[in-house]
């Protein structure tokens, strides 16, 4: 009886996985279908749509925009997020909990509202939509996730290591460079990767902020969808999936390898 109950649970879990991944697998499969209307059944295997993508200047520009935006977002948000995360993990001060909640609040505010709010704000400041708007917007969207991820990793870095360095005669700067920073590196990398991917993938708020000249890849896909789905969209989707999924997997692999020494 117990065994059959457990097998049911297992079967159910497998079905949930199928549900989660079937549509994504379909995107990847259909991107290799050479047929014009790229639907099932598969009529062969070709890179036709990938070649077409590579020849599409508008898509290449969107890729460049997304990469630049994602990189700058991750640099900026990690630079402001790491010190804040350290302050929360290392120090006690009045109002700590409320401030932490305030910094995490953007998670609970719908991106639509954030999109409208920033847009109206810059309109009031009489500024046009620009790349800076996208960058600042992405910083606000990614900041709470970076704080969460980094805080979780920082808890494990014990203060005693630094105190030991100090008591052995290192000055505070040396201590930071020789002890704290190396210990922090995994947290910094995790924060950067996380924010890069969120920025690279974001569409909900970005649609409010992007202009014709500032399109990111998800915004471009949204525009292409207006006509209906095409094998080209599936190919572009597959490139996005490979890029944003391989980065965390690679990072996880590297960090495990590094920590083993």
Partner 1 sequence: MQNKSWKPWAMMAPSLSAVFLLLVIPVCFIVVYSFWLRAPTGADIPAFQFGNYAKFFEDFFYPSILIRTIRVALETVALCLVMGYIPAYFFYRSETRHKSLLLLLIMLPFWISFIIRTLSWINILGETGLINHLLLKFGILNEPLSLLYNEGAVLLGLIQYLLPFMILNVYVSLEGIDKSLLEAARSLGCTEWQAFREVTLPLSLPGVSAGCLLVFVLTAGTYLPPMILGGPGNDMIANLIFKRVIGTLDWPFGSAISVLLLALLGVIVFTYNRYLGINQVFKSLSS
Contacts (Cβ under 8 Å, ≥6 apart) of 204:
111, 112, 115
What residues from 14 to 43 belong to the interface with partner 1 (CB under 8 A)?
16-17, 19-24, 26-27, 30, 37, 39-41
Residue 121 makes contact with partner 1 by CB under 8 A: yes
Residue 70 makes contact with partner 1 by CB under 8 A: no
Nearest-approach distance from CB 1 to partner 1, in angstroms: 9
Residue 47 makes contact with partner 1 by CB under 8 A: no
Residue 134 makes contact with partner 1 by CB under 8 A: no
How big is the site for partner 1, counted in residues (CB under 8 A)? Answer: 93
Query: Is the separation of the CB atoms in 203 and 240 below 8 Å?
Result: no
Give 168: exposed, middle or buried? Use CB within 10 Å, 0-12, 13-18, 19+: exposed
Contacts (Cβ under 8 Å, ≥6 apart) of 1:
none
Residue 2 makes contact with partner 1 by CB under 8 A: yes
Q: Which of 139, 157, 184, 192 binds partner 1 (CB under 8 A)?
A: 139
Q: Which of 120, 164, 254, 258 binds partner 1 (CB under 8 A)?
A: 120
Cis peptide before 41 (omega within 30 of 0): yes
140/166 with CB nearer partner 1:
140
* Region near partner 1 per CB under 8 A, out of 46-54, 67-75, 136-144, 158-166: 136-144
Q: Please tell me the distance from the alpha carbon of residue 221 to that of residue 234, in angstroms, as a whole number.
A: 10
What residues from 100 to 119 belong to the interface with partner 1 (CB under 8 A)?
101-119
8-state DSSP, 161: H
28/68 with CB nearer partner 1:
28
Residue 93 makes contact with partner 1 by CB under 8 A: yes
Query: Is the separation of the CB atoms in 39 and 29 below 8 Å?
Result: no
DSSP3 helix / strand / coil % (the chain, rounded to 5): 80, 0, 20
- Looking up tokens 């390898």 gives 257
Q: What string marks each residue from 161 to 200 as x (binds partner 1 by CB under 8 A) or -?
A: ------------------------------------x--x
Q: Which of 18, 45, 60, 123 binds partner 1 (CB under 8 A)?
A: 123
What residues from 228 to 257 belong to the interface with partner 1 (CB under 8 A)?
229, 233-234, 237, 240-241, 244-245, 247-249, 252
Q: Determine how many CB atoms are found less than 10 A away from the CB of residue 215.
A: 21
* Region near partner 1 per CB under 8 A, out of 45-53, 55-63, 144-152, 178-186: 144-152
Q: Which of 9, 58, 75, 164 binds partner 1 (CB under 8 A)?
A: 9
Q: Please tell me the distance from the alpha carbon of residue 55 to that of residue 73, in angstroms, as a whole number.
A: 28
Instruction: Please state, in angstroms and as integers, the Cα–Cα distance from residue 61 to each residue in 22, 82, 215, 246, following that order.
Output: 30, 31, 8, 22
């Amino acid at each position: 009886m117990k065994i059959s109950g457990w097998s049911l649970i297992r079967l159910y879990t497998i079905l949930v996985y199928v549900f989660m991944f079937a549509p994504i697998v379909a995107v990847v499969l259909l991107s290799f279908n050479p047929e014009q209307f790229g639907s099932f059944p598969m009529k062969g295997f070709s890179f036709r749509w990938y070649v077409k993508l590579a020849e599409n200047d508008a898509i290449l520009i969107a890729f460049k925009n997304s990469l630049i935006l994602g990189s700058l977002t991750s640099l900026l948000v990690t630079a402001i997020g790491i010190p804040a995360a350290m302050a929360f993990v290392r120090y006690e001060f009045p109002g700590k909990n409320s401030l932490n909640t305030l910094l995490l609040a953007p998670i609970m505010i719908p991106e639509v509202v954030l999109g409208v709010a920033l847009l109206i704000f810059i309109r009031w400041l009489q500024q046009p939509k620009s790349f800076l708007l996208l960058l600042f917007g992405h910083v606000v969207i990614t900041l709470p996730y970076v704080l969460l991820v980094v805080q979780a990793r920082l808890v494990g870095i014990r203060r005693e290591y630094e105190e030991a360095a100090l008591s052995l005669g290192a000055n505070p700067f040396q201590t930071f460079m020789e002890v704290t920073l190396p210990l922090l590196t995994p947290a910094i990398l995790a924060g950067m990767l996380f924010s890069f991917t969120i920025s690279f993938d974001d569409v909900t708020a970005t649609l409010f902020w992007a202009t014709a000249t500032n399109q990111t890849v998800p915004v471009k896909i949204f525009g292409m969808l207006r006509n209906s789905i095409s094998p080209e969209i599936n190919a572009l989707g597959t490139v996005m999936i490979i890029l944003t999924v391989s980065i965390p997997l690679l990072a996880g692999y590297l960090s495990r390898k590094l920590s083993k020494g």
